[in-house]
C-alpha cells in the first residue's frame, strides 16, 4: 500500500506540473491539442472541444502538445493563437508555469500538513539514531551491511540512549575514528545486528561512514493557533527545504564525481516514499513537498528537453532577434531527450538492483 501511495505521489506531481503548462496556455488563449499524464499505452482518454486528454500506463512523465507542427491540424499556420506565433513573454510564461505550479503545490502541501497534522512542538525520543538513507552502496556503512531504516543503538559498546544528543555522540565517535574499525549495533525491526564499520576520510578531511542520521522518535504536534500560524510555519518549512535542496544541487554539480551515487531515479524515490509512509502516512506530506520542489528545480535547469532548455532557446531568440533554426533546435532537443531517457533507464536498473529485497534474493 505504501509503495502504491508513493507511486501515486509521483503521478500527482507530474499532473500538477503539466497542468501548470496547460493552464497557462489556455488562460492566454493558446491552442492545445494534447494533454497527457504518463507514457506508454493509453489507459483512458477523452476528446474535448480542442484537446485530447489521456492517462497513460507509465506514470514517469507527461506532456502538453501544441498543434503548431501537427500536419493534420486544421488551424492556419499564421493563426496568432498558435504557440510559436505568440510573443516571447507569453511563451516564457507557458514554459515556466510547470515549475511555478510545482513550487506553489509544495507550499500548499505544507499548509495541508500543518492544518491536518498540526504544528510541531517537539519529539518523543526513543533509543538510538535513525538511518533514513545510506548515501551509496560503496559507502562504508553499506559495505558493512547497514541499510536505510536501521536504528543505530550503540557504538563501541556505548548505548546512544534516547536523548537529542545521541546523534552528536555518534557523529563525534565516527569523526574521531578515521580508518579505525568501529563496532556498531543496529536494530532492524525486532532483530539486532552487530556490524564493523571503518570510517573513510573524505576530500574535506572528515571521517564518514556514508549515512544520513535523524533523531529516532515520534514528533509531537499541537493544534495550530489559527490560519496565520499555519501559513507562517508552511512558509518557513518551504523556504528551509528549498534552500537545502538548492544547496544539494550545487554540491552535486560541483562535486559530481563524489556525489553521483546520490542521484535517485524513480525506483529509489518510490522506495524512500514507501519507507517514509510505512509507519505513518502523514509523512507523505513532507515527502510530496520535497519531491515537488526537486521536480521544479530539475526542470528549470538549462538542459535540452527540460523547461530550462526551452527557456534558454527563448533567451537566445530574444538576444538574436530571431529564433535559432528549427532543425538545430529539434536536433538539440532530441539529443537531450535521448540522454535523459538513457539516464532514466540507468537509474531504474541501478536502483532496482540495490533494493534490499533484490539483494536478499541473491544472497
Residue position matching grid coordinates 513573454: 89
- Distance, CA of 41 to CA of 176 (rounded, Å): 55
Q: Dihedral of the CA atoms 138, 257, 178, 142 (nearest 10)?
A: -20
CB-based contact 93:28 (threshold 8 Å):
yes
Residue 178: partners with Cβ closer than 8 Å, 6 or more residues away: 199, 200, 201, 207
Distances (CA, A) of 97 to 27, 101, 105, 144, 353: 12, 6, 12, 45, 36
CB-based contact 119:37 (threshold 8 Å):
no
- Distance, CA of 335 to CA of 337 (rounded, Å): 5
Write the DSSP string, 118-160: -EEEEEEEEEEEE---BS-TTSHHHHHT--TT-EEEEETTEE-
Catalytic site residue 18? yes
Q: Dihedral of the CA atoms 332, 334, 336, 339 (nearest 10)?
A: -140
Distance of CA 193 to the CA centre of its chain: 31
Please name every residue paired with 46 in a beta bridge, in sequence order, or none if there are none.
Answer: 53
Q: Which three cell numbers stand for residue 56?
A: 497513460
Single out the residue of 361, 357, 356 nearest to residue 146, CA to CA.
356
Which one of the listed residues 18, 76, 162, 218 is annotated catalytic?
Answer: 18
What is the tally of helices (H) and strands (E) in the chain?
Answer: 11, 10
336, burial (CB in 10 Å: exposed 0-12, middle 13-18, buried 19+) = middle
Residues assigned a catalytic role? 18
Amino acid at each position: 500500500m505504501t509503495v502504491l501511495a508513493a507511486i501515486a505521489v509521483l503521478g500527482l506531481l507530474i499532473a500538477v506540473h503539466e497542468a501548470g503548462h496547460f493552464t497557462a496556455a489556455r488562460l492566454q488563449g493558446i491552442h492545445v491539442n494534447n494533454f497527457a499524464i504518463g507514457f506508454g499505452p493509453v489507459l483512458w482518454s477523452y476528446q474535448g472541444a480542442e484537446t485530447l486528454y489521456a492517462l497513460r500506463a507509465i506514470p514517469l512523465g507527461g506532456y502538453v502538445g501544441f498543434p503548431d507542427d501537427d500536419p493534420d491540424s486544421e488551424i492556419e499556420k499564421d493563426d496568432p493563437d498558435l504557440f510559436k506565433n505568440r510573443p516571447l513573454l507569453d511563451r516564457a510564461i507557458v514554459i515556466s508555469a510547470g515549475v511555478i505550479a510545482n513550487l506553489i503545490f509544495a507550499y500548499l502541501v505544507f499548509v495541508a500538513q500543518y492544518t491536518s497534522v498540526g504544528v510541531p512542538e517537539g519529539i518523543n525520543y526513543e533509543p538510538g539514531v535513525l538511518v533514513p538513507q545510506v548515501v551509496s552502496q560503496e559507502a562504508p556503512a553499506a559495505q558493512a551491511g547497514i541499510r536505510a531504516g536501521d536504528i543505530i543503538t550503540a557504538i563501541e559498546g556505548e548505548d546512544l540512549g534516547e536523548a537529542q544528543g545521541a546523534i552528536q555522540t555518534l557523529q563525534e565517535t565516527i569523526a574521531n575514528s578515521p580508518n579505525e574499525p568501529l563496532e556498531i549495533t543496529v536494530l532492524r525491526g525486532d532483530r539486532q545486528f552487530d556490524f564493523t564499520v571503518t570510517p573513510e576520510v573524505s576530500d574535506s578531511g572528515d571521517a564518514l561512514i556514508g549515512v544520513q542520521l535523524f533523531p529516532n522518535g515520534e514528533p509531537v504536534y499541537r493544534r495550530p493557533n489559527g490560519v496565520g500560524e499555519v501559513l507562517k510555519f508552511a512558509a518557513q518549512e518551504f523556504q528551509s527545504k528549498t534552500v537545502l535542496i538548492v544547496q544539494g544541487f550545487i554540491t552535486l554539480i560541483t562535486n559530481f564525481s563524489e556525489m553521483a551515487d546520490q542521484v535517485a531515479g524513480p525506483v529509489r524515490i518510490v522506495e524512500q516514499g514507501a519507507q517514509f509512509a510505512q509507519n505513518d502516512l502523514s509523512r507523505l506530506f513532507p515527502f510530496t513537498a520535497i519531491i515537488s520542489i526537486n521536480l521544479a528545480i530539475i526542470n528549470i535547469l538549462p538542459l535540452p528537453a527540460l523547461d530550462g532548455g526551452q527557456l534558454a532557446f527563448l533567451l537566445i531568440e530574444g538576444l538574436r532577434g530571431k529564433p535559432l533554426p528549427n532543425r538545430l533546435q529539434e536536433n538539440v532537443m532530441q539529443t537531450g531527450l535521448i540522454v535523459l531517457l538513457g539516464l532514466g533507464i540507468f537509474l531504474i536498473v541501478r536502483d532496482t538492483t540495490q533494493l534490499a529485497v533484490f539483494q536478499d534474493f541473491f544472497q
